[in-house]
Every structure is written in C-alpha cells, then in structure tokens.
Amino acid sequence: MRLNTLFTLATTVLAVIGAAHAETGLLGEIEFPNSGSEEAQPDFIRGMLYMHNFEYDEASAAFKSAREIDPDFALAYWGEAMTYHHSLWNRQTKSAARDILRKLGRTSEERAAKAPTQREKDLLRAAETLFAMTEETKQLPKEQCDVAYRDVMRGLHTKYPEDNEITALYGLSMLCVASKNREYGSYIRAAAVITQVWDDNRRHPGAAHYLIHSYDDPVHAPLGLPMARAYSEIAPAAAHAQHMTSHIFSALGMWDDLVLANERAVDIEYDAENSDAELTMTAGHYVYWLHYGYLQQGRVEEATELLTMARGLLDHDPTSRERAYYAGMFARQLFDTQDPAVVEQWLVPEGMDVPSPHYHFARAFAAIQAGDAETATHCRDRVQVSGSGNPEVYLDEDIVGVLRKELDALAALEAGDGDTAVALAEEAVQLNAALPFRYGPPQIAKPSGELLGDIFTRLDRHEEAATAYRAQLELMPRRTQSLLGLARAAQASGDTATATQAYQDLATIWHGADGGMTGAKEARANTTD
C-alpha cells in the first residue's frame, strides 16, 4: 500500500516524512531546531529520521539534498557525514565522512564559522572528534575515537539537557563503545539516558530503536517489549525498524511476532529496491531471521522455500554475503529440523568458497553422525575464520573454537567414549558462556547447552540432560529443539510435570506447524486438554 508523505514545519520542525523511492510511509516524529533554510527542512528532517532508523543510504541522500538546496546549511553536512558512522554495526567510512565535512569548510575554523549557533558548532566539533579530525584524535584508532566522541557527547548532553537529539545521539554513542563486548552495565546506563527521550516523545524512532538495542537480551528483554510493540508503528516505512522489533521477540522466544516483523521487513526492503515493485529476494539479514523464525514455528515448508531461494542464488555469481548467509541457513535447516537429508540435498556447487564456518561445521557434524570419517575430517579442517561482515554468519576465532570443541565432543560420543564427550561438551558450554551475548538466531549453530543435553540423553543420563536443556533455555527462551529435548528428558526421568509443561509450550509454538511434522505430533500427543 502506498502511504502519503506527511510533514509539518513550525518554529521548530516536527516531521513525519516518507521514503524517497518506491514505498513511502511514516518514519517517526522529531523536533530539531536548526539554522537551515525552510526549503531544506523536509529533506534534513527526513535524513535524521532515516539515520535514527539505521537506513543510512536513504539518510545520506536526504542530507545531500538538503545541502544542495541550502549550500550554507552546516548541519546538513554534519548529518551526511554522520551517515558514514554505523555505530552498532562497527562500520565506519572515515574518508567519506571527512570529504563531506571538508565541503563545508577546509578547516575546523572555517566549518565553525558557517555554523550560526553554538549548538551547531558543538555538533560539528563532535563529528570532527569522531572522524579523527581534531588534534586530540587525529592519531587515534577508531575504537579510541569512539570513546572520545562519547565523552564529547556526554558534555553536550550536560550542556543541552533538554535537547532530545543530542540526548539520543549521546545514548547511541554509549552503546557503540560498549557493543564490542556487550557490557551490560553500560547498556543499562545508556538506556537510562535514552529513556529521557522516550518519555518526552513516544514517536521518536531513535528512542524506541536504541532502547531495543539496550534491552535485547533474555534478562532485560521484558523492559524493551513496550518499545518493540511501538517501534513498528512509529516507522512502518523503515525495513530496519520492522526487523528491529524482533530483537526483543527473539530474546523472549515470541516466534509469531518475530516472523511477522521480518516478513514486513523483507516486503519493505525488496519492494523499495525494485521500482516495479516486483519482489527480488536475496539471502541477507532479514531473510536469515525469517528463516529461523519459520523453523521455530514448525513451518518447515516455508523455511525450505527461503532456503531454495538462497541456494538458487549460488548458481548466478553470488556475492560473499549471499554465500555466507546461505551457509547460515543451511546449518539452521539441519539443526532445527534434525533431518540429515538436508546435507546432501543442499550442498553448494562443487569448488565454491563458502566464507562462513556455519556450512563446514554443519557438514562435519552430520558426517560424524553418519560415520563418514573422511568427510568429517575434511570439513572440520575448514571450520575456521573466513571473510568479514555481520558476525551472525562471519564468525570470529572464539566462536570457531567453540564449534571445533563441539565437533570433538560429538566424535568422542560416536566413538563410544561418553565421559570424554561430556567433558568436551561441558568445555564448549563454558567457552560459550565467556563470550558476549549475541541476540537473534544462535551464533553457535548447535547451541552448546543443547548439544550437552543431547549427549546426556544418548547416555541415558536424563536428569542431567534436563538440567542442560533448562540452562540453554535460560539463554534462548522457547527455542524448540531445546524444549523438545527437555520434554523427552523429563519424561524419561519420570518428571511428568516438567514434561507436560514443555510439551504444552511446544504445542502452543507449533500451532501452525506443517501437518506432517513429527515433533508437533509428539507435542500434541503428550499435551493435556
């Protein structure tokens, strides 16, 4: 559906503005007093709204349009430069940001002279700090510039305590610095700052968005649920806004909501990218999450349709990103359907490089279970860091170490050495626990606690299996394979109450599961009316 673009200009600017290309719709509402011309205001506000929604390309285009309309509009240059800093994605194009700022003025002094108010001068100075353009930061690496920028924004927040834009950006800078190791204390302190904006303006896209990031782990996710419920309505034209709500839904195991959020994101993203509104889907972040959600719901046929789409791309000069996301979907399909036929059916073309350990780990895991030692060894050797990009599919050395440990545990189990299998799986759990929490589909394709539960089950140590599954469910609430493992282990150990509750939870989650799904049938058969 096409929605009309709306915006209102007053002494300050209150904007609800639509997308620049095929699909238009609401992006949120903000107030941002500035010295730009009235004619440039709609584009400037649109740029801010897109930037708060992490739609950086659209934001950059909007700010560029604003500065072309008003070549002396200092904050339009500032805004466009800031679109090259993708804070929570740990990506920055410093050279492009500097080039934009230098179009306003060659030196800091020249740029400041073109900013009519002290607040605008201060924001320009903050950007110069971020992009290593000051004496204090010009020799610093990005991580230290991020810290320096956060400190400058803290000062601006103190100086302009009622300014929602400065407050929101200060909160985001706190999240950026804490995001590498996901330091929970800093995340909650950021949330306290950003909540000031949320309380003042419940339609501010940045407030909702950044609070979701602050709370997207199983412990704090309930605090973010109001923002997740609101954000999809605040910015229905932003694909990232629709997807972002699923960070909270994933942390709470709310699979129906997660699927709906990513279906909307996919629809917006691919409709926006095609002027004729024909859906040309590719394997990427939103599709990856949607595929996982379908599998959790037991909608295997629809998950398989997405996997088929992603596999088809491999026959047409695929990008590294498409190959990496396919690898993740391949692994998800294997572990969340427990169907060994997935491996042979969905292999990549012969000789193709797959820049994600997910693929090789899944193949090695299946080969060990099948007793194919040669393939298992070959694939295990290829479980290594390869490529760079989103850490959900481009895994670092710490994650790779956990994957290898899991393979060794499974190999010991299949060789009949149960004690070694348990010891290695417990080591994998400990290694995993030491890593920063990662939201969304499991970064470890076979969650370590779930594998430990499976090993205990194979050894008929059902009470220990149930304990392992419970611990995994604390980290990944309502994950269906862990729930199913818990139900079976509890039933085998005589814990009828736990088994019944787990089966009831599964029956609820799998209310729309494919008719022939074995697990769904088992859950219904063990559920009391």
What is the Cα–Cα distance from 63 to 75, expressed in whole angstroms? 9
Report pLDDT for 273: 54
6-272 topology per CATH: 1.25.40
Residue with tokens 């779930």: 450
The pLDDT, as a whole number, for residue 278 is: 44
| C-alpha distance from residue 416 to each of 11, 409, 454, 458, 461 (Å) | 76, 11, 15, 11, 15
Positions of CATH 1.25.40.10 in the chain = 6-272
Q: What is the pLDDT of residues 195-252, one digit of tens each?
A: 999 999 999 999 999 999 999 988 999 999 999 999 999 999 999 999 999 999 999 9
When mean pLDDT is compared across 10-14, 303-307, 308-312, the lowest value belongs to 10-14
Q: Which two tokens stand for residue 404?
A: 């290898």
The distance in angstroms from the start CA to the end CA of the chain is 41
Phi, psi torsion values for 8, nearest 5 degrees: -130, 135
Q: Each residue of 92-112: b (16+ CB within 10 Å) or e? A: bebeebbebbeebbeebeebb
Residue 280 confidence class, pLDDT cut points 50, 70, 90: low
- Tokens describing residue 423: 């010891």
In three-state secondary structure terms, 159 is helix
Give the three-class secondary structure for 91. strand
Flag the least confident range among 43-52, 154-163, 176-185, 230-239.
176-185
Say what the pLDDT of residue 115 is.
Answer: 97
Q: pTM value?
A: 0.91
What does the pLDDT average to over 422-442? 94
- CA distance linking residue 64 with residue 81, whole number of Å: 10
Q: Give me the amino acid identity at 2.
A: R
Average pLDDT over residues 75-91: 95
Q: Say what the pLDDT of residue 63 is.
A: 98
Spatial distance between the Cα atoms of 48 and 29, rounded to a whole number of angstroms:
10
Write out pLDDT tens, residues 347-397.
999 999 999 999 999 999 999 999 999 999 999 999 999 888 899 999 999
What integer pLDDT is reported at residue 464 of this predicted model? 98
Q: How far is CA 252 from CA 218, 256, 475, in A?
A: 6, 11, 10
pLDDT exceeds cutoff 90 at 313: yes
pLDDT of 332 over the 50 cut: yes
pLDDT at 436: 85
